[in-house]
Amino acid sequence: MKGKAPGDLRTAWIDCAHRMGYFCAENTETALPFDGLMYREAMVVAVKLKKIRYSPGEDFLLDKKFPDEVEALRTLPLPPTVSRELWLRTQNERAFRRFWVIPGTTTVEIEEVARDGYRNPHYRKEYWEKAPYRVEILFEKEGKGESNSQKTP
């Protein structure tokens, strides 16, 4: 046998969350259908982990593929300020795909979070670089009327 033995799903989730700067707390209450909470300064996220054998593909709807898991996250007895995420991992990929479950409406696949250093393994960089709604915002310097490309005023 070559290489390191794969860890279990919960250990991999905790390691990934720690690398992104989160603290983790596993769920010990079996009646609540989520695996744990990850938190940092002003952010708390309830996480449900799911390991699947084959990749679901690029353009699939999480609501249709995993309706029970999505509904369970939406009905958690947590305040609305707690975000809900479903993390998918396939047998062949050692990276997680994160999905944000918005209570009552829809689900969104998280492409990239620069603050966390997270990038989806299925991130289509060339698509987002050519996106038609990309805008460069220019700010004016005080008193001079000159524009520059600073990110903050």
Structural domain that includes position 85: 9-135
Residue matched to tokens 């987002």: 128
Give me the CATH number covering residue 78: 3.40.1350.10
pLDDT of residue 140: 67
More confident residue, 36 or 118: 36
Identify the band that residue 153 occupies on the pLDDT scale cut at 50, 70 and 90. Answer: very low
pTM for the structure as a whole = 0.71
Residue whose C-alpha is closest to residue 35's, from 48, 44, 45, 23: 48
3-state secondary structure the chain: CCCCCCCCHHHHHHHHHHHCCCEEEECCCCCCCCCEEEEECCEEEEEEEEEECCCCCCCCCHHHHCHHHHHHHHCCCCCCCCEEEEEEEECCCCCCEEEEECCCCCEEECCEECCCCEECCCCCHHHHHCCCCCCCCCEECCCCCCEECCCCC
**Residue 153, domain member (yes or no):** no
Percent of the chain with pLDDT over 90: 12
**Residue 95, domain member (yes or no):** yes
pLDDT over 70 (residue 152) = no
pLDDT of residue 126: 65
**Residue 81, domain member (yes or no):** yes
**Residue 112, domain member (yes or no):** yes
**Residue 1, domain member (yes or no):** no
**Residue 74, domain member (yes or no):** yes
Q: What is the mean pLDDT of residues 40-63?
A: 84
Task: Give tens-digit pLDDT for 115-138.
Answer: 676 766 666 666 656 666 656 667
pLDDT over 50 (residue 9) = yes
Distance CA 75, CA 107 (A): 14
pLDDT over 80 (residue 148) = no
Distance CA 86, CA 42 (A): 20
**Residue 151, domain member (yes or no):** no
Identify the band that residue 23 occupies on the pLDDT scale cut at 50, 70 and 90. Answer: very high
> At a CB cut-off of 8 Å and minimum separation 6, what does 138 contact?
147, 148, 149
pLDDT over 50 (residue 6) = yes
More confident residue, 69 or 122: 69
- Tally of domains within the chain: 1
Residue whose C-alpha is closest to residue 93's, from 65, 57, 146: 57
